[in-house]
Amino acid sequence: MFYTLYNSLKDAYWAASTVESKDQIHGAEDLVNQILDTLDRKNLESDNDAMADLTRWRRVCFEDR
């Protein structure tokens, strides 16, 4: 959803005819980009946690053999 919004804002930036409009759109792009960065960071943290759990589980499974 936010990726679609970000791409739409990029298109709107180039379609805008005034500097003021471009500035407003660029500000909105920056805000959406910050949201995307935060979401990406959260996904990475959750992936790291999942990998750590998998690694612990693998160790336990192979220790029993």
Residue-wise pLDDT for 25-58, tens only, equals 999 999 999 999 999 888 888 888 778 887 888 7
Q: What average pLDDT score do residues 19-30 get?
A: 96
Residue 43 lies in domain: 2-63
Write down the pLDDT at residue 29.
Answer: 96
Dihedral, 25, 31, 37, 42 alpha carbons, nearest 10: -140
Which pTM was predicted? Answer: 0.67
- How far is 63 from 57, CA to CA, in rounded Å? 10
Report pLDDT for 64: 60
In this predicted structure, the answer to whether residue 7 has a pLDDT above a threshold of 90 is yes
Number of structural domains (the chain) is 1
